[in-house]
Amino acid sequence: MADLFRAALAIAIKDIRVEGRSRTALISAVTFAALVLVIFNFARDPGALPKSALAPSVLWITFTFAAVIALNRSFALEKENAALDGLLLAPVSRSAVFLGKYLANLAFVFVVLAVTLPLFVLFFDVGFEGGLPGILAAAVLATLGFVAVGTVFAAITVRTRFADLMLPLLLFPFLMPPVTWAVQITTRLLSGRPVGEILGWLRLLALYDVVFVTLSLLLFPLLMDE
Amino acid sequence: MPVDANGGGGYMVAAYVVTAVILGGYALMLWRKAKRIASSE
Amino acid sequence: MTTLAKRGLAITAVGLLALAAVYVLALAYTPIERAQGLPQKIFYIHVPAAWCALLSFSLVGIASILYLWLRDPRLDLFAESAANVGLAFSLVMLTTGPLWGKPVWGTWWTWDARLTFTLFLFFLFVGYRALRSAVQDPGERARFSAVLGIFGLLLVPFVHLTVYLFRTLHPQPIVLKPSAPSLPGEMLRALLASLGAYTILMAGLLMTRYALARDEREERDAG
């Protein structure tokens, strides 16, 4: 068990280091998020629709779409120079490979979140009041689930033609439940509702995490078995 | 929104035709494929 | 032609005949509903299509689980066939739904719970199919699509839950509910007959699709 986590951590650190050298994917994802926020602002008729009505949806769509860009990167890197084969030949279990990739992806997506959230506050002029902890909790719980699914799917789609298109096609249906719940939570918190009202939604997010992280851990090792 | 009993017949006909075309067409496609495979044997 | 393909085609023919009989029964022998008028009769062909789409999706998921366990390529072919047949039924479901909604709800599309749910089912079928066509190696294709099939099977209850937490316009369940079905006898009979006809048709199409895919592959391997 300790070996598993040590190997997973080594893989995650390797990924983060490689990304740290070029920062291409991270800069693209973060710029993408900023651009989407700007476009959303101009795609809204300011007279007809107040910013606050659209804000929760904008936050979640921007964040998750940018996250998908970051996920596309996670295995694309390994494909060059057949590094994936090297990784699979290494004396670590497939579960460790999954966990490592999962941790690295979580790190990237949290960076994307850390940039999206302040930009969102800046561009959409929202005040979180006391709602910030709830929104962060929703973001963390939603991310844990969909990044697990995204890590497995990215490992699949990197081996297909049209990898960059295939990942969103497969992953977007899986984003729908967590994004819907997160938007519900954000809407309530931004309009100053008590925290008690969001506990049910948070529980749903946690359930989604338990189901899909377990499933990812179980099924990822079966993906590559030559 | 209730409609009067005589209205909407066109929608009904369209739905029945579409269903027949999709399911019948799919069956026809399989039948053709079966014939093609049989003739190539 | 192999026996399985022949049998499949025979069952498909029986299913099509049964469907024709359902058309006659539904169009000529069921009463015209007072509030909805003629479009209500779309119900008889729409509900069973949704049932078959959901059934084939479950079959994809179950065959996927069994494939990853037993690694029998036949299970992969079966999952592929079920997804293919399911796509046809979900097309029926998605076209007849709005055709009913326009005259009765006054709009082609609304984000009603069940309508949204069926749309997601359709997206999952399309994604599954797209993935299969994008992977060349048969072993990889089987493993990848099996994993996607299982993920999809588990996503279905979550999507179902999510869409139901929002207000629904859809008619409440009238057949499968705790109390007795609230449909007049003739309407219920027509619906049950249609469910039967659709299920036979689906079994026939699935058998044929599977047998043909298998024959085609054997031919390719031999030639």
Q: Which chains touch B (3 or more CB pairs under 8 A)?
A: C
Does A42 have pLDDT greater than 70?
A: yes
Shortest distance, CA B31 to any CA of chain C (angstroms): 7
**Nearest alpha-carbon partner for A137 in A53, A221, A205:** A205
CB contact under 8 A, C68 and A211: no
More confident residue, C104 or B35: B35
Spans of all domains in chain B: 11-41
Per residue in A162-202, pLDDT (tens digit) is: 888 899 999 999 998 999 899 888 888 888 888 788 888 89
pTM higher than 0.90? no
* Least confident piece of the model among A76-90, A176-190, C4-18: A76-90
The structure tokens 């019948």 sit at B24
Does A62 have pLDDT greater than 50?
A: yes
CB contact under 8 A, C162 and A177: yes
Residue of C102, C204, C209 with shortest CB distance to B11 = C102
Residue of C23, C41, C92 with shortest CB distance to B22 = C92
Q: Do chains B and A touch (3 or more CB pairs under 8 A)?
A: no
Look up the ipTM and state it: 0.89
- Flag whether residue C96 sits within 8 Å of chain B, measured between CB atoms: yes
C contact test, residue of A85, A219, A220 with most C CBs within 10 A: A219
Name residues 12-31 of chain B within 8 A of C (Cβ): 12, 14-16, 18-20, 22-24, 26-27, 30-31
- Flag whether residue C104 sits within 8 Å of chain B, measured between CB atoms: yes
Per residue in C112-138, pLDDT (tens digit) is: 777 788 888 899 999 999 999 999 899
pLDDT along chain B (41 residues), means of 10: 60 94 96 88 65
Cα–Cα distances in angstroms (integers) from residue C190 to residues C19, C34, C43, C184, C187, in the given order: 11, 17, 10, 10, 5
CB contact under 8 A, C16 and B40: no
The residue segments making up the domain with residue C198 are: 3-222
Are C5 and C212 in contact by the 8 Å Cβ rule? The answer is: yes
Instruction: Work out the burial of residue C149: count CB atoms within 10 Å of its CB; fewer than 13 is exposed, 13-18 middle, 19 or more buried.
Output: buried
Looking at residue A208, its amino acid is Y
Q: What's the number of domains chain C is made of?
A: 1
Are A138 and A201 in contact by the 8 Å Cβ rule? The answer is: yes
Does C105 have pLDDT greater than 70?
A: yes
Q: Which chains touch C (3 or more CB pairs under 8 A)?
A: A, B
Give the per-residue pLDDT at B3.
Answer: 45
Task: Quote the tokens at residue C41.
Answer: 């009769």
Q: What is the mean pLDDT of the segment spanning C178-203?
A: 83
Task: Quote the tokens at residue A169.
Answer: 């096609």
A contact test, residue of C151, C154, C165, C166 with most A CBs within 10 A: C151
Does A57 have pLDDT greater than 70?
A: yes
Taking the C-alpha atoms of residue C199 and residue A22, their distance in angstroms, rounded to an integer, is 56
Q: Percent of chain C at pLDDT above 90?
A: 59
Residue of A166, A173, A219 with shortest CB distance to C123 = A173
CB contact under 8 A, B24 and C219: no
